[in-house]
Amino acid sequence: MEKNEYLLEVKGLKKYFKVGKGTLKAVDDVSFYIRPGETLGVVGESGCGKTTCGRTVLGLYDRTDGEVLYRGKDVHKLKGEERKQFTKHAQIIFQDPYASLDPKMKVQDIIVEGIRAHGLAKSEKEIKERVNELLVTVGLDAQYGERYIHEFSGGQRQRIGIARALAVEPEFIVCDEPISALDVSIQAQIVNLLDKLQEEKGLTYMFIAHDLSMVKYISDRVMVMYLGKVVEITAADRLYEQPAHPYTQALLSAIPIPDPHVEAKKERIKMGGEIPSPVDPPKGCRFQNRCKYATERCREEEPALRLIGEDHYVACHLEDE
Q: Which is nearer to ligand SF4, 161 or 303 (CB)?
A: 303
Q: Does 255 bind ligand SF4 (CB under 6 A)?
A: no
Taking the complex as a whole, the smallest distance from the CB of residue 227 to ligand SF4 amounts, in Å, to: 11
State the DSSP code for 242. S
Q: How far is the CB of 53 from ligand SF4 (least distance, A)?
A: 20
Residue 288 touches ligand SF4, criterion: CB under 6 A: yes
Taking the C-alpha atoms of residue 206 and residue 52, their distance in angstroms, rounded to an integer, is 13
Q: How far is the CB of 248 from ligand SF4 (least distance, A)?
A: 10
Handedness of CA 97, 98, 102, 104 (dihedral sign): positive
In the list 246, 248, 271, 278, the residue contacting ligand SF4 (rule: CB under 6 A) is: 246
Measuring CA to CA, which residue among 120, 203, 116, 113 is closest to residue 160?
A: 113
Choose the binding region for ligand SF4 from 25-33, 48-56, 110-118, 283-291 (rule: CB under 6 A). 283-291
Q: Which of 157, 303, 305, 313 binds ligand SF4 (CB under 6 A)?
A: 303
Q: Name which of residues 144 to 173 contact ligand SF4 (CB under 6 A).
A: none
With CA atoms as reference, report the closest residue to 60 among 174, 180, 167. Answer: 174
d(CA 8, CA 75): 10
Q: What is the dihedral of CA 89, 90, 92, 93, to 10 degrees?
A: 50
Pick one of 120, 121, 255, 294: the residue that binds ligand SF4 (CB under 6 A). 294
Check residue 291 for interaction with ligand SF4 (CB under 6 A).
yes
DSSP labels, 253-308: HTSPPSSHHHHHHPPPPPPPSPPPPTTSPPSS-TTGGG-TT--HHHHHSPPPPEEE
CA 146 distance to own-chain centroid: 31
Judged by CB under 6 A, the residue of 162, 285, 305, 313 near ligand SF4 is: 285
Residues that bind ligand SF4 (CB under 6 A): 246, 285, 287-288, 291, 293-294, 298, 303, 316-318
